[in-house]
């Protein structure tokens, strides 16, 4: 994850104060809490020092969509923060210690084998020096040396086997921890769906497949979600998002992928699915969301029914990932503009 490295933030007091005021104005205008993470993103946007971050926010504003805390948290994680990787670095440090311990054990085993070889060679030399007139005590001394050397070699081997078994167990534990960290870095904590980082990898992989293979994308946006948050509070707003995520999860197959794309936006990747099949999946999601009836357990309060709008785009041979997502986005906003709670097919190339 790249930290901010595009330009140095060497601002004098007056310039920094001006940027700070503009940053707070941006956050307040969009009702985004001025946390340190959100402020850092707003400041970089105001300063214009990170082109990709600024382009992402500008594109969001130009499309008529409001900014939200989810977007700012995502931008902070993608372009500013490096903390999510500290756990992975810790795993790497443990793995290095494990490798060093194993190397030491192997080195000790090698030294023990070499010592056994020298003792064996010396004992055999003593045997060669003995003749028929040698007494039993001399022969016994040679045999004792061989037995001692063999016992020492066996002990070294037993120790190595124990160390290797311990190393194997620790390796398995580290592998599990690393896999857990990797998965956590690709999941949205609220819904358990994939996050934007995972989407990038998944979509790149699917786009690399032969362009003749069917691939469709759904964009899902909860209608009037800001009103839900403002009326019922963020706790119920989060419950709405989780339930919509569950609906999407239940409507897709094993090869399909669901992503939390924005605060109240979702994206579904449908490999091996043409336009007709994708439209059916989208309609199924829309109707199930419309049928949701959420009740708050502590007081049996029933939330008013809500809906979602969807856009569908199926890959054309000339599509790039950007053009495919853009057509799905255009279709989504056609659904919004057409009255919401509907599915629109984006089957024409975006202008």
Which residues form the catalytic set?
264
Dig out the tokens for 50 from the structure: 């990170």
Please provide the DSSP assignment of 69-120 as one string. Answer: HHHHHHHHHHHT--GGGHHHHHHHHHHHHHHHHHHHHHHHHHHHHHHHHHHH
Dig out the tokens for 310 from the structure: 């969807």
Is residue 266 within 8 A of residue 260, CB to CB? The reply is yes
Dig out the tokens for 231 from the structure: 């009326």
Q: DSSP character for 238? A: H
Nearest CA among 15, 315, 74 for reference residue 195: 74
Please give the backbone phi and psi of residue 225, each rounded to the nearest 5 degrees, phi first: -65, -35
- Residue 95: burial class (beta carbons within 10 Å; 0-12, 13-18, 19+): middle
Distance, in Å, from the CA atom of 196 to the CA atom of 260, rounded to the nearest integer, reads 7
Dig out the tokens for 331 from the structure: 């279709």
Distance, in Å, from the CA atom of 6 to the CA atom of 8, rounded to the nearest integer, reads 7
Dig out the tokens for 65 from the structure: 């969509």
Non-local (6+) Cβ contacts of 234 within 8 A are: none
Distance, in Å, from the CA atom of 229 to the CA atom of 306, rounded to the nearest integer, reads 12
Dig out the tokens for 218 from the structure: 């759904």
Distance, in Å, from the CA atom of 271 to the CA atom of 269, rounded to the nearest integer, reads 6
Distance, in Å, from the CA atom of 139 to the CA atom of 83, rounded to the nearest integer, reads 69
């Amino acid at each position: 994850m790249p930290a901010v490295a595009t330009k140095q933030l060497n601002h004098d007091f007056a310039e920094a104060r001006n940027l700070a005021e503009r940053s707070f104005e941006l956050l307040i205008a969009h009702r985004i809490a001025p946390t340190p993470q959100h402020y850092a993103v707003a400041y970089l946007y105001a300063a214009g020092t990170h082109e990709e971050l600024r382009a992402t926010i500008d594109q969001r504003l130009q499309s008529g969509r409001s900014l939200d805390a989810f977007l700012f948290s995502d931008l902070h994680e993608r372009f500013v923060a490096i903390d999510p990787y500290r756990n992975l670095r810790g795993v790497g440090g443990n793995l290095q210690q494990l490798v060093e311990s194993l190397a030491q054990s192997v080195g000790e085993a090698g030294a023990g084998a070499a010592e056994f070889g020298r003792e064996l060679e010396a004992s055999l030399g003593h045997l060669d020096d003995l003749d028929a007139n040698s007494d039993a005590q001399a022969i016994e001394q040679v045999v004792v040396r061989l037995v001692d050397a063999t016992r020492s070699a066996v002990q070294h081997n037993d120790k190595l086997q124990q160390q290797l078994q311990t190393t194997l167990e620790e390796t398995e534990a580290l592998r599990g921890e690393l896999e857990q960290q990797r998965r956590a870095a690709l999941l949205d904590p609220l819904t358990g769906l994939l996050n934007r980082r995972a989407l990038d990898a998944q979509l790149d992989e699917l786009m690399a497949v032969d362009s003749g293979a069917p691939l469709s994308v759904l964009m899902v946006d909860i209608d009037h979600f800001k009103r839900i948050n403002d009326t019922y509070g963020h706790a119920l707003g989060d419950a709405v998002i989780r339930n919509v995520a569950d609906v999407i999860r239940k409507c897709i197959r094993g090869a399909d992928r669901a992503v939390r794309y924005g605060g109240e936006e979702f994206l579904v990747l449908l490999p091996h699915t043409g336009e007709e099949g994708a439209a059916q999946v989208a309609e199924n999601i829309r109707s199930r969301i419309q049928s949701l009836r959420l009740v708050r357990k502590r007081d049996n309060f029933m939330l008013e029914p809500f809906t979602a709008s969807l856009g569908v785009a199926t890959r054309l041979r000339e599509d790039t990932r950007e053009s495919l997502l853009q057509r799905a986005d255009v279709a989504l906003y056609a659904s919004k503009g057409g009255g919401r709670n509907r599915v629109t097919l984006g089957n024409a190339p975006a202008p």
